[in-house]
Amino acid sequence: MKGEVLGGCGLHMAAEDNVVTAIDDLEAGTTIPYGGERIELDADVPFGHKVALVAFDPGDAVVKYGEVIGQATETIDPGEWVHTHNAESRRGRGDVAAEGEVA
């Protein structure tokens, strides 16, 4: 498997990633070791979904697979579920230029 499993519950695909992917249904209160600390989930996170490892401000890049896959649409705290309610995708969006490209 590519990446590193953190705390037996989240897959960290690349060193640059600021989110981890839940490898099981995770319950609120679950902790994920990251950067010498423990990130505590504030809510349940379904299998395959993303959890923030760092704090995000609106407009901050969400990085997974070592690539920008989206951006935060609101403030996201470490341990929060990252999904369509607080982030929007940038992958496969022909209406949004990739970083460094002209639309």
Question: Running DSSP on this structure, what letter comes out for residue 45?
Answer: B
The model's pTM is 0.85
Instruction: List the beta bridge partners of residue 51.
Output: 20, 81
- In the chain, the DSSP E strands lie at 4-6, 10-12, 19-22, 31-34, 37-40, 50-52, 61-64, 67-72, 81-82, 87-89
CATH of domain 4-89: 2.30.130.110
- pLDDT, tens digit, for every residue of 1-34? 589 999 999 999 999 999 999 999 999 999 999 9
Q: How confident is the model over 72-94, as a mean pLDDT?
A: 87
Domain range list for the chain: 4-89
pLDDT value of residue 94: 53
pLDDT value of residue 93: 55
pLDDT value of residue 102: 42
pLDDT value of residue 2: 81
How far the first Cα of the chain sits from its last, in Å, is: 35
Task: Give the span between the Cα atoms of 24 and 94, in whole angstroms.
Answer: 32
pLDDT value of residue 103: 41
